[in-house]
Amino acid sequence: MRRSSRALTAALAAAAALTCSSSASAVVGGQAASAGSFPYVANVTIAGAFGCTGTLIAPQWVLSAGHCGSITGAGVATPVGWPTGAVQLTLNTVHADGTGGEQHTVTQVKLPSSYLLTHGSDVSLLKLDTPSAVTPMKIAATSERSIWEPGDQMTIAGFGTTSEGGSAPAIMNYAQVPIVTDAGCASAYHDTTPVLGDAFDATTMVCAGYPQGGTDTCQGDSGGPLLAPLSTATGGFRLVGATSYGQGCAEAGYPGVYARIAEGPLRDFIASNVPDAYAG
Ligand code: 4AZ
């Protein structure tokens, strides 16, 4: 969602049936994912329209954004999950229409209590009806902290729009963006109204993007992966973030904001619910 739009998202989400076209939309400045790549990336549909992305972190659990898993949105002290069945998702396909993918309904939605009380902690855990056949993407171990330092190139992927305000593509897109320092992100998002706005909070957020913009996550990518590459010898990735928000998409000076899931309170929340989601 766009900066300062979480209250709006909450209002829209509360209406449940609204199409939310501006939010129902991939990665800006990336390229179409090739068939068979990113099998663990989920295309999440809420109430048949509201679109998000997610990542399979255990056979029966997908990690997505808090604002994708909550009717009430942030700032509302009542944790209301979507009626189960309203949330559906597809794994193991790059096609937005689900062609060839593994379809699931969601039987349970878990949100961190801190999501409802603050503007951060933008994660949700979606329990699948049946275990997936796809190999889950593990979240980085604390001992792997060195693979997502400022300047390190991360991979982002999702089913969202390829331009700010644009439409969603037929194929999942992916790109690379570097981690931004917490100080740099705090100065980009020095919001003076953090209750309603989206000021940067390094406890539960981490940023990635180029100073000049051009490559970023966008509407509909929310909840999707921020992936850190393992050593070239080992290959593969670890999950270190979940797409959350930003000022528009790919704008200069406004990196994308991701939920910080590999350390801190969100690590504790996810580990207490899905202990096998972590590497190491
Ligand atoms: C969204 O609405 C969204 N540029 C996700 C990420 C970003 C902006 C919007 C970051 O899902």
User: Quick one: pLDDT at residue 89?
Assistant: 96
Can you say whether the dihedral through the CA atoms of 261, 29, 67, 168 is positive or negative? Answer: negative
Closest-CA residue to 76 (of 111, 115, 109, 46):
115
Tokens read off for 76: 């509302």
Residues within a 6 A CB radius of ligand 1:
1-2, 23, 160, 216-222, 243, 245-246, 249, 256
Pocket test for ligand 1, best of 46, 205, 217, 258 (most atoms within 8 A of CB): 217
Tokens read off for 170: 């037929």
Rounded alpha-carbon distances, angstroms, from residue 8 to 11, 67, 156, 221? 5, 11, 25, 17
User: Quick one: pLDDT at residue 17?
Assistant: 29
Ligand 1 centroid from CA 127, angstroms: 23
User: Quick one: pLDDT at residue 193?
Assistant: 58
Ligand 1 centroid from CA 219, angstroms: 5
Ranges under pLDDT 70 in the chain: 1-26, 71-82, 84, 117, 191-198
Q: What is the pLDDT of residues 17-45, one digit of tens each?
A: 223 333 333 699 999 999 999 999 999 99
Residues 6+ apart with CB under 8 A from 225: 38, 40, 41, 53, 55, 137, 155, 156, 157, 158, 237, 239, 241, 242, 243
